[in-house]
Amino acid sequence: MKKLILLVVIFATMVVTTSGEEILSNLILNYGLEVNQFSTGSGFKSGIEASAFVIEGNRRSLQLGLYIDSETQKVTGFSVNHKYVFLKNKIDRAFNIEPYFFYNFIYRVTNMSAPLAGNLEIAKILGYEGSTSYTSMEHHFGIGFKIKLFNSMFLHADAGYGRYLGSIKKPSAPDPMTSLIYGTNGWNIITKIGIGYNF
């Protein structure tokens, strides 16, 4: 997990620095932090996402976050989110609502303490005995909106549709030869609600 967190930090550094000083000097960049509660239809329970984001020109944002599993209460993955505000509509002096399109990517690592197999001898030969790690990914596209509460604080809600790959929380039927169970692929819905702060 330490390597996973290190990769997220390195990726975030690359996003900020690879554009070059000349390009960055012409951009208006804002930064912030966000905490989200989200749920997907991939079999996992709702999770928490703590993330940092950068907004370019008040239209596009890139968000990198850590995924906290509600079952284990541990960081078990990371997420990447890209948003594009397609309409700015000032409702009144107190509220400012911004609708946006988004792409969301979630990468999870699930540790199982026991083999998911009926045939323990085959599981041992294939390396599935004891603690086993399963990885899964999810890709979603959708729409959301952000409500500015104050100059720097906002609420947001998202809803989208996408695909999950390798969810061990929706396991396959046991393999007839080995009795092993694997993660499955499928289509699912994502819903997300959160609060954020712009610096």
Q: Is residue 117 part of a domain?
A: no
Nearest to 44 by CA among 139, 169, 166, 143: 169
Longest dimension (CA), the chain: 68
pLDDT score, position 63 = 93
Q: Is residue 53 part of a domain?
A: yes
pLDDT score, position 92 = 47
Is residue 45 within 8 A of residue 188, CB to CB? The reply is no
pLDDT score, position 3 = 57
Instruction: State pTM to two decimals.
Output: 0.75
For residue 77, give its domain range: 2-112+134-168+190-198
Is residue 132 within 8 A of residue 126, CB to CB? The reply is no
pLDDT score, position 107 = 95
Q: Is residue 97 part of a domain?
A: yes
pLDDT score, position 121 = 60
pLDDT score, position 13 = 54
Q: Is residue 68 part of a domain?
A: yes
Is residue 83 within 8 A of residue 100, CB to CB? The reply is yes
pLDDT score, position 172 = 84
Q: Is residue 125 part of a domain?
A: no
**Token pair belonging to 134:** 């399963």
The CATH number of residue 41's host domain is 2.40.160
- Per-residue pLDDT tens, the chain, 199 aa: give them: 555 555 555 555 555 454 444 444 556 788 899 999 999 999 998 999 999 999 887 788 999 999 998 888 889 999 999 999 887 655 444 457 889 999 999 999 987 655 554 555 655 655 655 567 788 999 999 999 998 887 789 999 999 999 999 998 888 887 777 767 788 999 999 999 999 998 8
Q: Is residue 120 part of a domain?
A: no
The helix (H) or strand (E) run that includes residue 78 is strand 74-85
Is residue 133 within 8 A of residue 109, CB to CB? The reply is yes
Is residue 194 within 8 A of residue 155, CB to CB? The reply is yes
- Please give the tally of structural domains in the chain: 1
